[in-house]
């Protein structure tokens, strides 16, 4: 039964990912948010993902760039920028989860975001947003004024 549930969940995620790749990820924000809640909401450990986009906002890759503990994940701006250059991505959406259920960014979250933005900017790559997923709750750092 557990395997069947895992298959159903994975199938749903693949369908959502395919829709995002086809339509342009930033054009369908509610679809993006549903995908992020589904993929990251249930995680019990912090995880940092980066959505790499081209200039038409199409999803090139959705990569896990760091996994950590319940309240910390090491992330390296150099690795994120290197992957963006490899994919020829021009836009990034940073995403990480807070297993605590509180989407409020920590001081470390803000510092990490600024470091990634600075490194990406040097290479003419724009960080569109940093979204924090906490169960069903989301916080978009751009909308909240952190970016």
How many structural domains does the chain have?
1
Any domain includes 147: no
What residues in the chain have per-residue pLDDT under 70?
A: 1-27, 70
Q: What is the pLDDT of residues 44-59, one digit of tens each?
A: 889 999 999 999 888 8
Any domain includes 145: no
Cross-strand partners of 91: 53, 126
Q: Under a CB-based contact definition with an 8 Å cutoff, are residues 66 and 48 in contact?
A: yes
pLDDT at 19: 57
Q: In CATH, what number is assigned to the domain containing residue 42?
A: 3.40.140.10
| Cα–Cα distance for residue pair 119/57, rounded to 1 Å | 20
Strand 137-140 versus strand 59-67 pairing type: unpaired
Any domain includes 111: yes
Judge residue 84's burial from the number of C-beta atoms within 10 Å of its C-beta, 0-12 exposed, 13-18 middle, 19 or more buried: buried
> Residue 15: enclosing H or E segment and its boundaries?
helix 2-23
Any domain includes 146: no
Containing domain of residue 64, as a range?
A: 2-140
Tally of residues, the chain:
147
Within 10 Å of residue 19's Cβ, how many Cβ atoms?
16
Any domain includes 69: yes
pTM above 0.85, yes or no: no
């Amino acid at each position: 039964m557990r395997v069947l549930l895992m298959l159903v969940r994975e199938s749903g995620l693949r369908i959502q990912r395919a829709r995002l790749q086809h339509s342009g990820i930033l054009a369908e924000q509610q679809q993006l948010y549903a995908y992020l809640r589904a993929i990251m909401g249930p995680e019990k450990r912090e995880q940092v993902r980066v959505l790499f986009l081209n200039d038409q906002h199409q999803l090139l890759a959705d990569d896990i760039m760091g996994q950590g503990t319940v309240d910390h994940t090491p992330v390296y701006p150099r690795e994120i920028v290197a992957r963006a250059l490899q994919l020829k991505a021009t836009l990034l959406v940073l995403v990480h989860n807070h297993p605590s259920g509180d989407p409020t960014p920590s001081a470390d979250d803000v510092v990490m975001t600024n470091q990634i933005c600075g490194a990406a900017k040097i290479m003419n790559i724009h960080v569109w947003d940093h979204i924090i997923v906490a169960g069903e709750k989301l916080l978009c750092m751009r909308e909240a004024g952190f970016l």
